Chain A
Amino acid sequence: MKVVKAHGIKAPNSAILAENIIKNSEDDEFILMLSKGSDNGLERVAKKYGFTFEVENSEKEVVVRLTKAEVKELDVTGETCPGPIMLVGDKLRSMVIGERLKVASKSSEAVEDIAVAIPGMGGKVLDQGTENGKDYVVIERIEKKPTSTAAVDRDKVLVVQSNGTGNAERAYATFIFAKAALSMGKEVTIFLLMDGVSIARRGNAKTVKHPSFDRLDQVMAETIQKGAQMYVCELSANFRGIKQTDLVEGAKLAGAATYITLLSDPSYAVVNF
């Protein structure tokens, strides 16, 4: 892929230059950064040479992408967490700004995990879907913006649960705190890991009951219904032979990348049970 900054060159010269760049290069993908308005005539050039033409306008410039190549594909099927994210991370580091990669896997959790983590890794998600029985996500390498150290509103709560049904009080607290946070207008994410994953296995939570509270499965269902997002650590689930199909409705297997991304997000307050 060739990236050329050619600011200040007005149309029609920008199109002439683009054509000459194509002629002089063996690349099958070009990114041209031009001054606003200088993309006039480039679509014709793209068509002439059989490139797909994309334009992205920003405040300062216009970025034209000419692509002929099929987006490179990385299949992470069969890789268990954290394999997929490690492979994608390695690949992403070797990509130039603007380069794209399609990551596919038979495991929708692995793809979801990547999609969640990519924005914090110097990439952006362009597209996500299912194709030929595999889930995929198309990512683009972007300039990683330095995060500001300014204070952020901590308007999200991450409840981490690692004790499971073996500790009824902590299990109840997980959902009772989550419900309280939801009612306070916070966005809540519950991450079950270690013994915590036992709660999400269908049938387990209904064995937990305290005289003062509803059965745990009912409390959990209410919490999810109120909008809490519940992730189940893939590694811990594997340790216990638990699959996505064994989980209660609303619980999703997620990898280490999702967990680390959530933890790294300064807008989350983290509670551990």
Chain B
Amino acid sequence: MNYEKIVKELDELLKLKGSPVAVKLIKNADELPAGYSKMPEKKRHCEFVQNARLKGDEGYATSKEHLCKGGAGVMGIGTLPESVANGSMYHKLGNFKTAEGALETVNDIPKSSKEHYASIYSPLESAKFEPDVVVLVLTPKQALRITQASLHLKGGRVSSDYSGLQSVCADAVVAVKERGVANMTLGCNGSRKNAGIADGEVIMGIPPENLEEIVDALRTFKEKWG
């Protein structure tokens, strides 16, 4: 797939802020694509995504480079910290009134069915690997257009699920990779605060194979709706 061309068109049609982000999870060091080096600084997954989107950063992050172990853990990179896995952290933070509510929520957070060695990030237009998921940070109107575009060919409805926790990692990457279906999420406290997802933005994870279809539909919308 010619991602450079796709991104160019997406940008023309939607006027995106920054780039769509290619994210790939790899099982071992042998799968590392050539030309990517380890992220120089420890950061959170949502920060790596934002930096790829807005600064054009690229590279890979193993468990050591992931500052947010919860985000890394749901992606199968390292183990999920106990306090995240049992919900106690979110209970203490005040997200939930009861420990049971916290536990039920964390149990249902999408988690990778496989263990991974690292996550790789790149702006989509310059990605030298086949991504598992393309992460887009969008305004609600851009998200509306993407949603309409994704239904353009086959119709139906869209179901997005999120819990306001582990958004850019679990909702936008893991859920999409595991299901093969796009998912929209509203971010979480961490990604809003640390990665700087703006108040007027939402996050969407899209299977890369859907992109061509989406771009075709967006082109049609542009012709018909201006």
Contact = CB atoms under 8 A, between A and B. Distances in A.
Direct contact, A vs B (beta carbon within 8 Å): yes
A13 B160 CA distance: 8
Query: 9 nearest interchain CB pairs?
Result: A8-B108, A16-B159, A13-B159, A7-B108, A20-B181, A17-B159, A24-B180, A16-B157, A9-B161
Contact of A8 (B105, B179, B210): B105
Contacts of A14: 159
Given A5-B178, A24-B210, A19 B156 contact: yes
Residue of B104, B157, B161, B179 most packed against chain A (CB within 10 A): B179
Interface in A1-41: 2-9, 13-14, 16-17, 19-21, 23-25, 35
B179 A21 contact: yes
Contacts of A5: 110-111, 113, 178
Given A8-B163, A13-B161, A16-B158, A21 B180 contact: yes
Contacts of A25: 180
B111 to A, nearest CB: 8
Contacts of B178: 4-5
Secondary structure type dominating chain B contacts: loop
Interface residues of B, number: 23
A193 to B, nearest CB: 43
Interface of B: 104-105, 107-111, 113, 154, 156-159, 161, 163, 178-182, 207, 209-210
Nearest to A97: B113
B107 A7 contact: yes
B161 A21 contact: no
Given A24-B180, A24-B210, A17 B161 contact: yes
Contacts, number: 55
Contacts of B159: 9, 13-14, 16-17, 20
19 contacts: A4-B178, A4-B179, A5-B110, A6-B161, A8-B104, A8-B105, A8-B108, A9-B159, A13-B159, A13-B161, A16-B159, A17-B159, A19-B156, A19-B157, A20-B179, A21-B179, A21-B180, A23-B154, A35-B108
Interface residues of A, number: 19
A207 B148 CA distance: 85
Interface of A: 2-9, 13-14, 16-17, 19-21, 23-25, 35
Given A6-B179, A8-B108, A13-B159, 13 more contacts: A3-B113, A4-B179, A5-B110, A6-B110, A8-B105, A13-B161, A17-B159, A20-B159, A23-B154, A24-B180, A24-B209, A24-B210, A35-B108
A23 B180 CA distance: 10
Contacts of A8: 104-105, 107-109, 161, 163
B170 to A, nearest CB: 11
Contacts of B209: 24
A9 B162 CA distance: 9
B210 A23 contact: no
Contacts of A9: 108, 159, 161
A2 B108 contact: no
B167 to A, nearest CB: 14
A7 B108 CA distance: 5
